[in-house]
Amino acid sequence: MMIVHNILPLSICLCCWTLCFSQIGKEDRHFDGLYLGANAGSQNLFGGSFVDGVDVLAQESRFVAELFTGFRKQFLKGRMLAGAEVQIGFTDGNLTYHDPSKPLTIHYKNNFQHGFGLTLGAVFFKKKNLLVFAYAFETKRTFDVAIRDAIGSYKQTDEQGMLKYGLGTELHLWKGLNARATLGRLRVDFGDLVTNIDVEDKWDVTVGVSYQFRLRLQPQNQ
């Protein structure tokens, strides 16, 4: 998949950046540099299809597992943080809409999403071991749509792009290992399209872990 090929060179670049610019003696900077992680939880999924001029939607909160990587930098004596992150996710995204009065049955199939965005946070406590951050990610999904009505059967593709935003926290556990949790929502704009339902702004909740690489350039003995 194209997003995987894009993440690999980005991770290599971030790793090189970390090797070049990381400073020795920053042992209390638990959230500084290149990191990798995984999380899982409940996210708001909805699929759409055009039938007789109406965008017919099906929506549910479903299980999503994600892998992510990024680079972030602590500044102002390690108390503030800014970074960028990319994600790939695997979704339980098979939804169904059924209206027996027409009759109309629509199956929406999705098992993959990807996203990218920014984080901005603050680091707390004497040991600087708690990070609280805000995030904004552009998340993209594609649904394969199969429609069956009174006339026959046909297929469509629903390509989505939406803004996910919220708050997250990371707690340093041991060496480079951190525990992570996020709570957020998403912003959807259908413009002037007529829809069968109003999409509810449900909560996205995830928990997971991250590993912060502590790569350092060691000075050579003269």
CATH of the domain at 129: 2.40.160.20
Cα–Cα distances (Å) from 53 to 19, 155, 192, in that order, read 55, 15, 12
**Residue 201: what pLDDT?**
82
Digit-coded pLDDT (tens) for 74-90: 999 999 999 999 999 99
Query: Is-contact 30 121, C-beta < 8 A?
Result: no
- The domain containing residue 123 runs over which residues? 2-212
Over 60: is that where the pLDDT of 217 sits? no
Within-domain flag for 221: no
- Establish if 116 belongs to a structural domain: yes
- Within 10 angstroms of residue 33's Cβ, the number of other Cβ atoms is 25
The answer to the question of residue 222 being in a domain is no
Query: Cβ contacts of residue 61 below 8 Å, gap of 6+?
Result: 42, 43, 44, 45, 202
Residue carrying the six token digits 């339980």: 92
In a domain, 126, yes or no: yes
Structure confidence by residue, pLDDT tens digits, 134-172: 999 999 999 999 999 988 999 999 999 999 999 999 999
Query: Is residue 218 in a domain?
Result: no
Q: Report the number of distinct structural domains present in the chain.
A: 1
- 100-141 pLDDT tens trace: 988 999 999 999 999 999 999 999 999 999 999 999 999 999
Query: Is 59 inside a domain boundary?
Result: yes
Does residue 29 form part of some domain?
yes
> pLDDT band at residue 189, thresholds of 50, 70 and 90?
confident
